[in-house]
Structure 1
Amino acid sequence: MNTGDLLVEDVPPPRVESRGCVVANAFSLISPGTERNTVQMAQKSLAGKARARPDLVKQVLESAKREGIGATVAKVRDRLDTIKPVGYSSAGVVVEAGVEANGFRPGDRVACAGGGYAVHAEVVYVPRNLCARIPDGVSLDDAAFTTLGAIAMHGVRQAEAVIGDHVVVIGLGLVGQLVTQILKAAGCQVTGIDLNDQRCQLAVDYGSDRVAKPDDEHTGLQGADSVIVAASTSDSGPVDLAARLCRDRGRVVVVGAVGMELNREPFYAKEIELRLSRSYGPGRYDPQYEEQGEDYPIGYVRWTEQRNMLAFLDLLKDKRVSIERLATHRYPVDQAGEAYRQIQDNRDAMGVLIEYPESASAAVSSRVVVQASTGSSKDSVGIGFIGAGNFAQANLLPHLKSRSDAKLSCVVTRSGGNARQVAKKNGFASCSTDVADLFSDEGTDAVFVATRHGTHANLVAEGLRSGKHVFVEKPLALRAEELSDLELAWPGDRVLQVGFNRRFSPLTTWALDQIGQRSGPISLLYRVNAGPLDPLHWIHDPEEGGGRILGEVCHFVDFAHFVFGRRISRVSAVSSRSDDARIARGNVVVGLESGEGHSGSIAYFDSGDAGLEKERIELYRGGMTVVIDDFRRGWLYENGRKSPAKVQAGKGFKEEVDLFVDAIKRGSQGPISFEDLLHSTRATFAVEASLNAGASVDPDTVSIDPS
């Protein structure tokens, strides 16, 4: 995304998940408008990107306030260096179906949809609601147009066009031609408008009653029941034209990416209804529908993404929509770069298909070698990664790469393209989408687990049983039975570490050195300005993320456990009163008690202003106060004087990585004992248990799921 260069690379194939299918693509379709815009955006300079996407500039500025300029610059550079798989419409044959794939079976011919899923690749993984069975009589190359057909279909539905309606279609590119055919199949009178004579003639051949140019007089065209804008331009002219052509109380539907600086007068004078058509239909951008496969009841949502796909396939089967003249170019996958040059240089290119060999899926290996491996030795540690998102690449991998005794063996991610990119960028010997490749690799001594929370416990247990040392990002587990399984899997002679990095910060070490000079109970106040998350963020999902307490507050519970140096004996918690658990669990105050009179309070809020530092810690003991501000600065208050900490800032990521690798090399216990890891996790479960019970809880008595 930094240069706009197009690459064709060998990457590991995706793995099947329970609610979807692995599909061997036969054809995928390049969407000329959308994918041309994607490439052009990537080719822009940094300033050009900023001008084109001011919304992203705002996000960058907000990130700089919250995380600092250095961290934000690194994040932006990393994002720009990302290799993005392109494409979102394909067709092929199911080679493997998940156990909850809604009846899809190997051998089924399916049309596939979705950015990040139905990409230009030999083999793809597609969730069940983004797959549609192809009827007999419809070819795979025609079915590859299904996603674009669903976009056109949803635009027509948004127009609520019925038999006899006069509908104007502005923009006669690929989507506009499909809109025209669908409207004619619905019994409408259609007028097509485009600058290109060839496209106008094609629309006539497909049944358009009339065609015109945007700058024509349009005599007799005024009074359309609805106008569908399928053009692609940053100019607002198409929407202005639509308003002029629409009848009183008519409807304008915007399908294409066009300028939206509206002239109010015609919309007001004719009381025109303006609608935007969101992609393929209801379900789009809803992770519960697209990723989790939760369908909408047909009695409430008649037409979803998948149902629009199926309806379009039926039109193809009945020969009421024809693709023949829309498929203007075909290229084998190894010439995909030429296919993209075609849509960049040839404005007459419409449907550009990429074709894949029939035997492709059988020849694809789950593991791809990126560079020659030197292997691990008695003086080095072979390290693999499962999951390598922004967090792992920013906070873990740089510290491993700085050590000559850490050899990066294999990285495993859900996306083969991401696995390949991370491997090349960070120097891994190989990449894969199958964790079995990593757990069985003799050159891998230790595994870092940096996946979403719901997978942590099972991956840790599998790694330990495979004889690997394991570093897992927090949390260790989301359920009590997962801890029980980990106790069974724990061999006693491996290093297991959870990413409780704050206990290893130089500022934490300094603070404990200071209060260690005094005696008496320790009092802790830990305030966290967490900031809001999108309601649909995965961390809110009880299965995938576990919520903010289990997923984030665990950090601060472990910090208290470490500072006290004793097990936490009592946990009490109160939260905001709300019927929405996401709000309630996002604003919580936790009370902690420990042996020798130690006590603490964690105030975790997601409703604050981003301008306030994220974390502030205050430690009180024997007339002394120590303050840590966001792990950037520390202050000692003693004898009426305030003095700064003269230690390096940081949250402890480098230190925790170094301690983990060093423990493996020494053959010693990890920096946090197995018993302490379990206790910090149980104490976090006790926060949830206290909220549910409305009473204080002893962590050692929490034996049921925190939910």
Structure 2
Amino acid sequence: TGAGLIGLLTVQLLVAHGARVLAIDFDEAKLDLARQFGAETCNPARGEDPVAAGIAFSRGRGVDGVLITASTDSSDPVTQAARMCRKRGRIILVGVTGLELNRADFYEKELSFQVSCSYGPGRYDPAYEDKGQDYPLGFVRWTEQRNFEAVLDMLAAGRIDVEPLISHRFDFADATKAYDQLAEDKSVLGMLLDYGEPADERHVAKVVLDDRPLPAAGEPVVGFIGAGNYASRVLIPAFKDAGADLRTIVSAGGTSGVIHGRKNDFAEAGADTSALLADESINSVAIVTRHNSHASLTVDALNAGKHVFVEKPLGLTMSDIDAVEAAHAKTDRLLMVGFNRRFSPLTRKMKTLLDGVPEPKAFIMTMNAGAIPADHWSQDPEVGGGRIVGEACHLIDLMRYLTGAPITGVQASAMGGSANATLDKASIMLTFADGSFGTVHYLANGGSSFPKERIEAFAGGGTLQIDNFLKLRGYNWPGFKKMSLMRQDKGQGPCSKAFLDAVRAGSASPIAPEELFEVSRASIEAATLLK
């Protein structure tokens, strides 16, 4: 049912496999093609009854199966399919229709009804599509890839002919006209965009959003690599507010870069990271991509002579950190990781108070992180690195900042049981060169009404507590009781400004590079101990 582009391809596939086929559609021109491909036809627009046609076509037995490739809000295609099927027949919904089903139609015949998922088994499975982990042929014969392989074999053998399915051709330069016609003309079947002769060189388009001159020498001219949620909602606005010249934004697909580039006054948008790094007018790069690309992009940017602001984590493995450290040692460019919590006004106040106590401190830091799906990219060890490396690192850095002393030891324990397979419920114990120690509790099993982050410091007979970066309280702390903010401030704004100010002044990085490497290695070590 439905003799559009997908329906006519389906007709050819079925005929090629020896099936007798009845094609049903309201468009006689499309049914002419179906007959050309070897199908019998039924046109309800001419008063022909699809159910009666199906019964007659099957010599009164009922058809073995119905593939619905139509697109309609009506439930008629499913209802008609059920009524023309034989007992224990099969109905496959490939298209989109209404689903107001009559139970009796399915119950009395014991019909099977299935919705097709795109290209077949493997579709939407990151392990299959992104990592290339195939399904065993003996258990899943027709996977997404093997379906494509079979169709290509049939095309090569001439058993599928797509030439008659091309109803319109356009030069690629006229692509917008093609889409306009596709939206307005229901007779369009298959539309081909002709790219012309292959070009000698690959051309990557760059969209000019604002043809403005460069700022004065020494001002930070920033290129952003990545245009995801955190970049667009938090980091780009923070850089903009801090006075950066937002020059170029690149994203994998290009489209999101253009959208957020226009919104945030970038001069250009594109999809070519290499071109951004080669642009001599850009002196600073912000890297806000998926975690597994942070280290390599940081190395490339440092080698290109750029100041680098990279979101946490700096890398996913010890070798990642080694590579970044080696690249940084060869340049005088700034390196900054987005450990923003040490720049929060409440953190700065806590640091000042603690520095007045000349003795070791004890810390308890809790991140009530909440659960996220196990198949989220950040949970994938090879892509996101897991939540300890990717998020708990914030609190490891915060403790390193508040003590002001190097980390000398890392221990870690994870909650037992299969429920913690994603390692998002753990405690990390840290010791420091000045005798201080502390524990980071990273928990994904807490209540959403409880504060997400709580920072507690114990020293000199007093206690300091930051509650969700909204309030700092002092308990038995001489001369201090509390400090409150009007709204939560985790330090993203001051962190971005500190980096840009250092670029302007030609001064050292706001976070010492050795601390960045130390915290990154401690985070990776903690995650390794939990496995």
Comparing 663-672 and 607-616, the one that deviates more: 607-616
State how 1:415-564 maps to structure 2 within 5 Å.
415-491=253-329, 493-515=332-354, 520-564=359-403
Kindly indicate whether residue 249 of structure 2 is the aligned counterpart of residue 411 of structure 1: yes
State how 1:611-650 maps to structure 2 within 5 Å.
611-638=449-476, 643=482, 645-646=484-485, 649-650=488-489
Distance 1:683 1:363 in 2: 42
Equivalent residues, number: 521
Kindly indicate whether residue 214 of structure 2 is the aligned counterpart of residue 341 of structure 1: no
Comparing 607-616 and 181-190, the one that deviates more: 607-616
Distance 1:618 1:242 in 2: 66
Distance 1:645 1:631 in 2: 9
Deviations 1:102-136 (A, max 9, x none): xxxxxxxxxxxxxxxxxxxxxxxxxxxxxxxxxxx
Q: 1:398 aligns with which of 218, 221, 237?
A: 237
SS at match of 2:421: helix
SS at match of 1:339: helix
Kindly indicate whether residue 228 of structure 2 is the aligned counterpart of residue 389 of structure 1: yes
Comparing 363-372 and 320-329, the one that deviates more: 363-372
SS at match of 1:192: strand
Specify the alignment match of 1:326 in structure 2: 165
State how 1:81-230 maps to structure 2 within 5 Å.
170-213=1-44, 216=49, 218-219=51-52, 221-222=54-55, 223-230=62-69
Aligned amino acid, residue 285 of structure 2? V
Deviations 1:250-269 (A, max 9, x none): 11111012223433222222
Cα deviation for residue 376 of structure 1 reads 4.3
Aligned amino acid, residue 255 of structure 2? G
Q: Does the 8 A contact of 1:572 with 1:690 survive in 2?
A: yes
Aligned amino acid, residue 604 of structure 1? Y
Q: Does the 8 A contact of 1:330 with 1:352 survive in 2?
A: yes
Unmatched segments (≥5 aa) in structure 2: 56-61
Distance 1:584 1:645 in 2: 35
Q: Does the 8 A contact of 2:314 with 2:337 survive in 1?
A: yes
Q: Does the 8 A contact of 1:367 with 1:437 survive in 2?
A: no
Q: 1:469 to 1:639 in 2, by over 3 A?
A: closer
Distance 2:134 2:397 in 1: 40
Aligned amino acid, residue 219 of structure 1? A
RMSD, aligned CA: 2.8
State how 1:35-54 maps to structure 2 within 5 Å.
none
SS at match of 1:172: coil
Q: 1:617 to 1:546 in 2, by over 3 A?
A: same
Distance 2:76 2:470 in 1: 52
Distance 1:199 1:567 in 2: 74
SS at match of 1:259: coil
Aligned amino acid, residue 543 of structure 1? E
State how 1:335-374 maps to structure 2 within 5 Å.
335-360=174-199, 362=201, 364-365=203-204, 369-374=208-213
Larger Rg: 2
Q: 1:328 to 1:584 in 2, by over 3 A?
A: closer
Q: 2:515 aligns with which of 665, 676, 685?
A: 676
Aligned amino acid, residue 23 of structure 2? G
SS at match of 2:392: helix
Cα deviation for residue 309 of structure 1 reads 2.1
Specify the alignment match of 2:58 in structure 1: none
Q: Does the 8 A contact of 2:285 with 2:308 survive in 1?
A: yes
Specify the alignment match of 1:663 in structure 2: 502
Cα deviation for residue 515 of structure 1 reads 4.7
Cα deviation for residue 610 of structure 1 reads 4.1
Cα deviation for residue 658 of structure 1 reads 0.4
Kindly indicate whether residue 444 of structure 2 is the aligned counterpart of residue 603 of structure 1: no
Cα deviation for residue 497 of structure 1 reads 0.8
Aligned amino acid, residue 438 of structure 2? G
Distance 1:249 1:611 in 2: 51
Distance 1:299 1:287 in 2: 21
Distance 1:277 1:677 in 2: 49
Higher RCO structure (Cα 8 Å, ≥6 apart)? 1
Cα deviation for residue 609 of structure 1 reads 4.4
Distance 1:576 1:472 in 2: 31
Aligned amino acid, residue 603 of structure 1? H
Q: 1:236 to 1:597 in 2, by over 3 A?
A: farther
Distance 2:378 2:159 in 1: 45
Deviations 1:163-200 (A, max 9, x none): xxxxxxx2222111211221122221222222334333
Deviations 1:629-688 (A, max 9, x none): 332344444489975524653111110010001112122111111111111112212313
TM-score between both structures, scaled by the size of structure 1: 0.68
Cα deviation for residue 377 of structure 1 reads 2.8
Unmatched segments (≥5 aa) in structure 1: 1-169, 693-707
Distance 1:558 1:324 in 2: 61
State how 1:2-41 maps to structure 2 within 5 Å.
none
Aligned amino acid, residue 449 of structure 1? I
Comparing 588-597 and 670-679, the one that deviates more: 588-597
Identity of aligned residues (%): 39
Comparing 416-425 and 528-537, the one that deviates more: 416-425
Q: Does the 8 A contact of 2:122 with 2:128 survive in 1?
A: yes
Cα deviation for residue 381 of structure 1 reads 1.5
